[in-house]
């Protein structure tokens, strides 16, 4: 049994602002107890690779607590920021509870070709119950809308982060945005 969901969104902010805000979106999040960066490096092409482990509250309904006795979830997030192509690719997957359910997502943030102050976002996530029958269907049907809600919360937090960053660094961002516009004009 597999449940897949696709979402798209456009952020009214330049790619450079969105990609910077992405790395701060879990700060102060009530359901993310801890965020550990386990690897970060820049490759030979200038791309930033980051692997983070997120320690999250499970928040399971009572009927599922008998099946899944864990109160926390561990999620691995792998991201690659490609500044030359103005893309941020993100993939996530759960690290624990894999005998019961596997959940994963792939996201792509890309600079808009039409508007340098817009970043396009695509999300695809998949939930696969490892238990069969009615319980598996219930688990997938319960989890999929929550993951979609988490994605919407993440989008709101990203926009709030963009606004905070722009206010905090207004002058430096004006230079970054000007450089982005100049680079985009040169490629079109």
Q: What is the mean pLDDT of each run of 10 residues along the chain (188 residues)?
A: 79 91 83 90 96 82 63 89 96 82 90 93 86 77 74 80 79 70 72
> Cα(151)–Cα(106) distance, rounded to whole angstroms?
11
- pLDDT at position 63 is 60
Q: pTM of this prediction? A: 0.79
Please report the pLDDT score of residue 15 as a whole number.
93
**Which residue blocks in 46-168 are alpha helix, DSSP H?**
62-65, 133-168
As a whole number of angstroms, the longest Cα–Cα distance in the chain is: 59
pLDDT given at position 2: 72
Of the candidates 165, 168, 135, the one whose C-alpha atom is nearest the C-alpha of residue 64 is: 135
pLDDT in the model for residue 188: 63
Burial zone of 89 (CB within 10 Å; 0-12 exposed, 13-18 middle, 19+ buried): middle
Position 7 scores a pLDDT of 84
Average pLDDT, the chain: 83
- Model pLDDT, residue 152: 78
Phi and psi torsions of 151, nearest 5°: -65, -40
* Per-residue pLDDT at 109: 96
- Contact in structure between 39 and 50 (CB atoms under 8 Å): yes
Distant-in-sequence, close-in-space partners of 171: CB < 8 Å, separation ≥ 6:
none
């Amino acid at each position: 049994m597999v449940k897949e969901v696709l979402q798209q969104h456009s952020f009214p902010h330049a790619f450079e602002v969105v990609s910077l805000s992405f790395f701060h979106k879990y700060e102060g999040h009530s359901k993310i107890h801890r965020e550990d960066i386990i690897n970060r490096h820049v490759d030979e092409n200038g791309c930033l690779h980051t692997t983070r482990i997120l320690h999250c509250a499970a928040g399971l309904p009572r009927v599922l607590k008998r099946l899944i006795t864990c109160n926390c979830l561990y999620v691995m997030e792998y991201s690659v920021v490609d500044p030359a192509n103005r893309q941020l690719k993100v993939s996530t997957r759960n690290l624990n509870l894999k005998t019961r359910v596997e959940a994963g997502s792939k996201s792509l943030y890309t600079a808009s070709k039409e508007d340098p102050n817009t970043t396009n976002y695509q999300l695809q996530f998949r939930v696969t119950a490892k238990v069969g029958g009615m319980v598996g269907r219930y688990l997938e049907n319960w989890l999929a809308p929550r993951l979609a809600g988490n994605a919407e919360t993440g989008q709101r937090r990203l926009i709030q982060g963009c606004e905070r960053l722009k206010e905090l660094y207004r002058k430096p961002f004006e230079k970054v945005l000007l450089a982005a516009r100049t680079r985009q004009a040169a490629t079109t």
